[in-house]
């Protein structure tokens, strides 16, 4: 029987919540404690996933004598021995270093409700039409606030059209009949910058940031993934489980981002990184 009550403060958006859930699940397991999730985390994630962690009752949430415990964005030996029966973790962990050793269980936590899978399959069947043996590549292009946060705050860049072109070429060369499904919180930019003339690119949805679950479910059902930056793309890739192309080395050496982010803790070793073009940043700093 597991003792205590451990939880994690939900912060950020969908991909962050998944990272927080997986990290809580793994660390509570290591420390032999019972984990519970906040109602708003349950509300967001259980819309599509068959989660098993119980939800904290509102009353318990208020009355439990929580001890706050901040965790970094990657695993550390000391997290194997966190003392306390009422730990409330906080932070933005997403790194596979916390939970990859129990990958099967994490994937089971994030398995989709049947109604979601049925909806996704209907969509995929519709775009596949008469073609046999199509290879689906989910493409997640993170834009939105990152368009300015990355260069201005983190001394970094986000994915540009060249990156996406190279990543797509990889899949076009490797597989016969590829279909790219592009999701983004900047879909207009994608329509302008992704060359869809060969007829193998589908732009998905309305880019509605408040309803990410549908986009996520479709990406995760694809065979392979092109991600850019951010935890949403990471999780889609982790669940899809095929080949993954990611943007790497997207920060200057003195970026403050590197204090909270480690490339090697963020991306699995077998995934394929394409280095970002940092020249826009360098030109910008020369101009200042």
Structure tokens at 213: 């679950």
Burial of 69 (0-12, 13-18, 19+ CB in 10 A): middle
Stretch 79-118: interaction string toward ligand NAG, x if CB under 6 A: ----------------------------------------
Q: At its nearest, how many Å lie between ligand NAG and the CB of residue 165?
A: 8
Residue from 157, 159, 158, 154 nearest 259 by CA: 154
Interface residue with ligand NAG, options 249, 257, 262, 271 (CB under 6 A): 249
Q: Which of residues 193-222 bind ligand NAG (CB under 6 A)?
A: 195, 197-198, 206, 208, 210-211, 221
Contact 244, 228 (CB under 8 A): no
Angle in degrees, 0-180, between the axes of helices 279-287 and 146-154, rounded to the nearest 10: 60
Among 172, 273, 277, 278, binds ligand NAG (CB under 6 A): 273
SS3 content of the chain, % helix, strand, coil (to 5): 45, 20, 35
Residue 264 binding ligand NAG, by CB under 6 A? no
85 or 209: CB nearest ligand NAG: 209
124 forms part of the interface with ligand NAG (CB under 6 A): yes
Distance of CA 39 to CAs 8, 17, 45, 53, 57, Å?
11, 12, 10, 11, 8
Q: 90, 111, 248, 255: which one contacts ligand NAG (CB under 6 A)?
A: 248
Binding site for ligand NAG (CB under 6 A): 124, 133, 135-136, 175-176, 195, 197-198, 206, 208, 210-211, 221, 223, 248-249, 273, 275
């Amino acid at each position: 029987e597991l003792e205590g009550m451990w939880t994690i403060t939900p912060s950020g958006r969908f991909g962050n919540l998944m990272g927080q859930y997986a990290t809580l699940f793994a660390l509570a397991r290591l420390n032999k404690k019972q984990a519970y999730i906040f109602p708003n985390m349950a509300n967001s994630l259980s819309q599509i996933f068959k989660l098993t962690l119980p939800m904290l009752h509102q009353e318990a949430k208020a009355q439990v004598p929580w001890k706050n415990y901040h965790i970094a964005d990657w695993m550390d030996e000391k997290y194997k021995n966190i003392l306390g029966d009422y730990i409330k973790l906080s932070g933005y962990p997403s790194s596979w270093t916390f939970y990859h050793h129990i990958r099967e269980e994490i994937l089971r936590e994030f398995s989709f409700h049947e109604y979601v899978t049925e909806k996704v399959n209907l969509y995929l069947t519709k775009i596949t039409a008469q073609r046999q043996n199509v290879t689906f590549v989910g493409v997640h292009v993170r834009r939105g606030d990152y368009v300015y946060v990355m260069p201005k705050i983190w001394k970094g860049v986000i994915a540009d059209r060249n990156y996406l072109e190279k990543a797509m070429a990889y899949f076009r060369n490797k597989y016969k009949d590829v279909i790219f499904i592009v999701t983004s919180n900047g879909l207009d930019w994608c329509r302008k910058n992704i060359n869809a003339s060969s007829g193998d690119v589908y732009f998905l949805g309305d880019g509605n940031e408040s309803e990410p679950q549908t986009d996520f479910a479709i990406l995760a059902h694809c065979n392979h993934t092109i991600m850019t930056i951010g935890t949403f793309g990471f999780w889609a890739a982790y669940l899809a489980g095929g080949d993954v192309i990611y943007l790497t080395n997207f920060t200057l050496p003195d970026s403050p981002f590197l204090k909270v982010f480690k490339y090697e803790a963020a991306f699995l070793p077998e995934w394929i990184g394409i280095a970002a073009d940092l020249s826009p940043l360098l030109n910008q700093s020369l101009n200042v």
